[in-house]
Amino acid sequence: MVVKKPRIVIIGAGMAGLTAANKLYKSGVKKGAFELCVVEGGNRIGGRINTSEFGGDRIEMGATWIHGIGGSPLHKIAQEINSLESEEPWECMDGFLDDPITIAENGYVLNPSLVDPISYLFKNLMDFAQGKKKSIGNGIEIDIFGNGSGNGNGYASVGSFLRKGLESYWELESRKESGEVNGFGDWNRKSLEEAIFAMHENTQRTYTAANDLHNLDYLAESEYVMFPGEEVTIAKGYLSIVESLASVLPSGLVQLNKKVCTIEWKPECVMGMMGSSRPVKIHFLDGTSMSADHVIITVSLGVLKAGVFNKENNSGKFKFNPPLPNYKSEAISKLGYGVVNKLFLKLSPDFNLDVDRFPFLQMVFHKSDHHVKNPKIPWWIRKTSSLSPIYKRSNVLLSWFAGEEALKLEELSDEVILDEVSTTISSFFSHKKGNGNVKFDKVLKSQWGSDPLFMGSYSYIAVGSSIADIDSLAEPLPNTMVFESTSGSPPFQILFAGEATHRTHYSTTHGAYFSGLREANRLLQHYHCINV
């Protein structure tokens, strides 16, 4: 009888999947311990990493930054493969552009003396929420849970915390006779301060992918871990890291255009009844199937949500047979997952601001419903906090969109986007003498929300969920610790990796990396391949 080697199938060739494949290949397959295969639904590797080109510049459609180089394994890889240097310019090569100019709707340039106090207030509030500071400062104290105990009921949001902070700031400020502002049309001091605050909230929406910060859990904010050190972009492109991980794999190991629709598994079976057949069967949309002993699932939380909860039309969706246990589907349902998109615009050659380059523009809008009064600026632009060149002298500009606005952006035609953005930006520069007209001749946007392979951009802890839900999501099925004595079913048939399964680094590329490593190590340990 031929003894079959255990077969591991990884679903998804993004950061998590390729990290797991890299590790399993080097530490297991090469030693003859098992068979390995990666199946990817798209026609390329990288997943939410998609380095592209626009207007002659290298840009990122998805992951952009290494969030903190201190301790980041991806920064280490980027250094090793020499990806942090390039002859050609790249997106955000100068880091975050400093010295923004802040302009309010209808073209009022705001003095830093008006903007900075609100920006500091916002930063102080976020630092406090993230546990970086023991007090908020400005004399502000907030009872976030609203019942005087300061004790969490677990349902406070970042959004409500921030707004309480602003209210409290105003209460303290009003005692200080802060003069009125003049010459700002239909703005007054309070509405300007509120709108500057909202601008920072909107930046926070793009960081977290939460459409509404009132749905972003407050307690989880301080449990999230950021690496220390600078944040950098990758000169040779984020994809160079993914390609480096994939480069150890023999050709054919990664199979593209293989979209999984159903995973059959065996949660219960009588010991010894399995025979020699593998417990998991993976069905593809093209009608083929593949059996496996272990499958590592790295599809996004959005793909899992759509498969588990879209009951009306489930054809082609990611399903489990039998369905996942309740605690799993509850975690999938409760955790947050949102849409963030990037919009790139190329300035037309006759762009003629009387400055020599486009500034780092921060935009202060009236509320979303204001487009009724000022229909030239549509609602979907009204939560865009900034527009800036991707490096100092680039004629390619970038804005980030989140939530509803990001989804709307996906369905708009290039013509509409060019037209409405250009009208909006020109009105912001209407204070410029001469030609304040800003024209663009090309546009490129990401569409992560409507892409069935992603269904959004990244995960967050929604109000009503917690890190415990991430732990539930990350738990393998069947888990030996739980099942050993009660079921003869083979352990670790389904393992979960991916950004959304990392309890302190979710939403990031390095979170995805660590999760892939975690599940690879779980199997290596199971087969006693660790340190062999």
Ligand X SMILES: Cc1cc2nc3c(=O)[nH]c(=O)nc-3n(C[C@H](O)[C@H](O)[C@H](O)COP(=O)(O)OP(=O)(O)OC[C@H]3O[C@@H](n4cnc5c(N)ncnc54)[C@H](O)[C@@H]3O)c2cc1C
Give the Cα-Cα-Cα angle 81, 79, 229 (nearest 5 degrees).
155
Position among 65, 337, 401, 492 found at the interface with ligand X (CB under 6 A): 65
Q: Is 151 in the site for ligand NAG (CB under 6 A)?
A: yes
Query: Distance between alpha carbon 365 and the CA centroid of its chain, in Å?
Result: 25
Contact stretch for ligand X (CB under 6 A) within 138-146, 248-256, 373-381, 445-453:
445-453
Of 7-15, 164-172, 267-275, 367-375, the window that binds ligand X (rule: CB under 6 A) is 7-15
Please give the C-alpha separations between residue 477 and each of 284, 322, 491, in angstroms, as whole numbers: 21, 12, 7
State which residue, 276 or 313, has the beta carbon closest to ligand NAG. Answer: 313
148 binds, among ligand X, ligand NAG, none (CB under 5 to 8 A by kind): ligand NAG
Look at residues 200, 218, 172, 210 and name the one whose alpha carbon lies nearest to residue 102. 200
Q: Where are the alpha helices (DSSP H) in 260-325?
A: 301-309
Select from 15, 33, 126, 142 the one that contacts ligand X (CB under 6 A). Answer: 15
Q: Which residue is nearest to ligand NAG (CB)?
A: 52
Residue 372 is encoded by which pair of tokens? Answer: 């009724």
Q: Which of residues 52-81 bind ligand NAG (CB under 6 A)?
A: 52, 61
Q: SS3 string of 122-164? A: HHHHHHHHCCCCCCCCCCCCCCCCCCCCCCCCCCCEHHHHHHH
What distance in Å separates the CA atoms of residue 318 and residue 219, rounded to the nearest whole number? 31
The distance of closest approach from Cβ of residue 351 to ligand NAG in the complex, given in angstroms and rounded to an integer, is 23
Is the Cβ of residue 165 or residue 302 nearer to ligand X in the bound state?
Answer: 302
CA distance 452 to 460: 19
Interface with ligand X (CB under 6 A), residue from 424, 457, 466, 472 = 457
Q: Which stretch binds ligand X (CB under 6 A): 59-67, 104-112, 149-157, 159-167?
A: 59-67
**What size, in residues, is the chain?**
532
At 43, list the tokens: 């026609």
Work out the number of other CB atoms within 10 angstroms of the CB of residue 439. 16
Of positions 6, 55, 62, 338, contacts ligand X by CB under 6 A: 62
Position 49 contacts ligand X (CB under 6 A): yes
Q: Is 145 in the site for ligand NAG (CB under 6 A)?
A: yes
8 A C-beta contact, residue 363 and residue 386: yes
Smallest distance, ligand NAG to C-beta of residue 462, A: 19
Long-range CB contacts for residues 372-375, cutoff 8 Å, separation at least 24 = 374/105, 374/106
Token pair, residue 49, equals 């990493």
**Residue 410, interface with ligand NAG (CB under 6 A)?**
no
Please report, as ranges, the residues that interact with ligand X according to CB under 6 A: 11-17, 39-42, 47-49, 62-65, 67, 259-260, 298-300, 303, 318, 340, 342, 446, 448, 453-454, 457-458, 498-499, 507-509, 512
Residues that bind ligand NAG (CB under 6 A): 50, 52, 61, 145, 147-149, 151, 153, 313, 315-316, 446, 451
